[in-house]
């Protein structure tokens, strides 16, 4: 049994992660602002993680084997966590994102379009940090989501006091109404109503992961693995937007309609004109076995169609 703290953990794959940790027999503490109660048997600390004094007071003398941070979006939050948890945990795992590799958001070393992007493309140990930027401005943070994640990783990677690992998640699908981004629903709605999907002229493939597989990988990263640094998390089998709409069409029985993206009509989610499909080779070498996107995408589409109360073909 390990003592594990989950920051966030009130929705989607974070909630499933908490359930799986508890089922595995670990002693789990969840920290959030009261947005959702954890399962029975899980300690719940209601506190704003951005309030350092309040977080310290809520934690008291508690120590943990592992902290899993589901809701670290900017370096200011990471700096608070680094101070609060230094000497309080031996391992700190942060949930990060594929978007750290998005070449539209920063200058990055070039990777050939047919080569999956490896972790070293963005090295948190060397990434510059600026805590003085207006990170607490919601509009600024939303517009700089990828950079906020890159700098948060950088702060924690240099913190000391614990081993740091980041899990860079691919685009997460599945889970029906729990898929709170609504991106798959964007496609299933259009597939069933006949509305066109807006796509780039030459869309490039990206990578995905099932919500339950991501929860399992985070459980593994927290309780079984001992790696440090970034780790890409994606199922095998990259897809471009045309392959995604074809998978949906296979269940709706309606041919997908596409229209070109323009300056005034932006492309739909998952239509990309830039390459940043990740490599999952490092996680495999460390012992994690990924599914193939084709194994679970049909069920994810079925869930999304069911939520819209539209019968499948």
CA geometry: angle 152, 113, 121, nearest 5 deg: 25
Rounded Cα distance, 92 and 95, in Å:
10
CATH level 3 topology of 3-307: Rossmann fold (3.40.50)
pLDDT of res. 34: 86
Q: Would you call 176 exposed, middle or buried from its count of C-beta atoms within 10 A (0-12, 13-18, 19+)?
A: middle
- Reading the chain (313 residues) residue by residue, the pLDDT tens digits are 999 999 997 778 888 999 999 999 999 999 999 877 888 899 999 999 999 999 999 999 999 999 999 999 999 999 999 999 999 999 999 999 999 999 999 999 988 888 999 999 999 999 999 999 999 999 999 999 999 999 999 999 999 899 999 999 999 998 765 566 778 888 888 888 889 999 999 999 999 999 999 999 999 999 999 999 999 999 999 999 999 999 999 988 888 889 999 988 899 999 999 999 999 999 999 999 999 999 999 999 998 888 765 444 4
Rounded Cα distance, 104 and 276, in Å:
10
pLDDT of res. 221: 97
pTM of the model: 0.94
pLDDT of res. 313: 46
């Amino acid at each position: 049994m390990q003592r594990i703290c989950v920051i966030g953990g009130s929705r989607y794959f974070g909630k499933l992660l908490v359930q799986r940790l508890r089922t595995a027999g670990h002693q789990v503490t969840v920290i959030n602002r009261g947005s959702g109660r954890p399962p029975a048997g899980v300690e719940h600390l209601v506190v704003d993680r951005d309030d350092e004094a309040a977080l310290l007071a809520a934690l008291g003398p508690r120590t943990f084997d592992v902290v899993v941070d589901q809701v670290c979006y900017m370096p200011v939050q990471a700096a608070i966590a680094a101070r609060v948890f230094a000497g309080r945990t031996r391992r700190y795992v942060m949930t990060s994102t594929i978007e750290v590799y998005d070449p539209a958001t920063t200058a990055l070393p070039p990777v050939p379009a047919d080569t999956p992007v490896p972790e070293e493309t963005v090295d948190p140990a060397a990434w510059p940090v600026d805590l003085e930027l207006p990170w607490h401005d919601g509009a600024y943070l939303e517009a700089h989501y990828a950079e906020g994640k890159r700098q948060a990783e950088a702060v924690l990677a240099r913190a000391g006091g614990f081993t740091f690992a980041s899990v860079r998640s691919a685009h997460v699908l599945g889970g029906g109404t729990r898929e709170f981004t609504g991106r798959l629903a964007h496609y299933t709605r259009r597939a069933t109503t006949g509305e066109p999907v807006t796509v780039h002229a030459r869309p490039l493939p990206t990578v995905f992961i099932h919500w339950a597989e991501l929860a399992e990988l985070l459980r593994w990263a927290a309780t079984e693995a001992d790696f440090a640094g970034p780790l890409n998390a994606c199922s095998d089998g990259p897809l471009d937007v045309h392959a995604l709409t074809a998978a949906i069409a296979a269940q709706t029985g309606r041919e997908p309609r596409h229209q070109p993206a323009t300056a005034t009509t932006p492309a739909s989610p998952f239509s990309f004109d830039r390459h940043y499909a990740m490599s999952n080779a490092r996680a495999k070498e460390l012992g994690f076995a990924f599914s193939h996107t084709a194994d679970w995408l049909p069920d994810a589409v079925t869930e999304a169609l069911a939520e819209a109360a539209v019968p499948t073909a």
